[in-house]
Amino acid sequence: MTTLPQSTDKKLGLVIDLDTCVGCHACVISCKEWNTSNYGAPLSDVDAYGGNPVGTFLNRVHSFEVKQENKPAQVTHFPKSCLHCEDAPCVTVCPTGASYKRTEDGIVLVNESDCIGCGLCAWSCPYGAREMDALEGVMKKCTLCVDRIYNENIPERDRVPSCVRTCPAGARHFGDLGDPDSDVSKLVAERGGMDLMPEQGTKPVNKYLPPRPKADVEEIDVLAPFLQRQDEEAGGFLGWLDRTLEKL
């Protein structure tokens, strides 16, 4: 069992816009690419060219269909990675102290040298956000690119998680959700950002912006402003054409 810090100076996290995510998987692969050769052990791919390729990913996109009676089904793309919870059960369950939450920014990390690969943390995470690396035998998870966001060897504008930098649609936002005046906090306020499974009591830092209501599930109003035929008594279409030409 490991304790969590009483509080953190910042609450760094992601805001993911489900209204904008097209499900392209750019974030998934950019994350894999950065993290396989940076923080900690590589993200291995077992049976990479064979019958059951299974690799470690810190971020995955799931797609769901949602259907209401007699209405067109909706499709939502749902990227999922560690939500850096304030009450992170993956930390408190850790028998060695390998899992910890940073006091300065709230990032939840695994100190791989202390990780014994017991898997308790993955079991305790209600989001399924941790993955045990099959070849390295250590627990891997989103680091929020802790080796990018403060990295003085890369340009300042690039000091964001790899998934955020690469997202083509701009559906991923990074910032301090503990600061109500930050851009991400304002975005959450504006768009009704939501916690994932709040009933679990984990107080996730990451937030999701819900899809906006779709026009195709609305009934078409009997008073809908359809285009009206040009008045036949005023010459119909040709009469309109004459009047338009006169005005030019």
Our CB check for another protein shows the closer of 153 and 233 to be: 153
Phi, psi of 28 (to 5 degrees): -60, -45
Residue span 186-205 as binding mask against another protein, x where in contact by CB under 8 A, dash where not: --------------------
Residue 94 interacting with another protein (CB under 8 A): yes
Distance CA 194, CA 206 (A): 9
Cα-based angle 192, 197, 201 (whole degrees, multiple of 5) = 105
Residues facing residue 174 across a β-bridge: 14
The CB density around residue 174, as the number of other CB atoms within 10 Å, is 22
- Expressed in angstroms, the distance from the first to the final Cα of the chain is 80
Number of residues that bind another protein (CB under 8 A): 102
Q: How far is the CB of 181 from another protein (least distance, A)?
A: 20
Distance CA 234, CA 12 (A): 65
Q: Which of residues 102-131 bind another protein (CB under 8 A)?
A: 102-103, 109, 111, 113-114
Q: How far is the CB of 233 from another protein (least distance, A)?
A: 14
Only one of the segments 66-74, 118-126, 175-183, 200-208 lies at the binding site for another protein (rule: CB under 8 A); that segment is 66-74
Our CB check for another protein shows the closer of 157 and 181 to be: 157
Residue 96 interacting with another protein (CB under 8 A): yes
Taken in order 93, 95, 101, 103, is the CA torsion positive or negative? Answer: positive
Distance CA 108, CA 101 (A): 4
Q: Which of residues 1-30 bind another protein (CB under 8 A)?
A: 1-5, 17, 19-26, 28-30
Only one of the segments 89-97, 122-130, 175-183, 200-208 lies at the binding site for another protein (rule: CB under 8 A); that segment is 89-97
Q: How far is the CB of 224 from another protein (least distance, A)?
A: 5
Distance CA 114, CA 53 (A): 28
Residue 86 interacting with another protein (CB under 8 A): no
Residue 137 interacting with another protein (CB under 8 A): no
Our CB check for another protein shows the closer of 181 and 221 to be: 221
The CB density around residue 66, as the number of other CB atoms within 10 Å, is 11
Q: Which of 69, 70, 156, 157 binds another protein (CB under 8 A)?
A: 157
DSSP 192: T
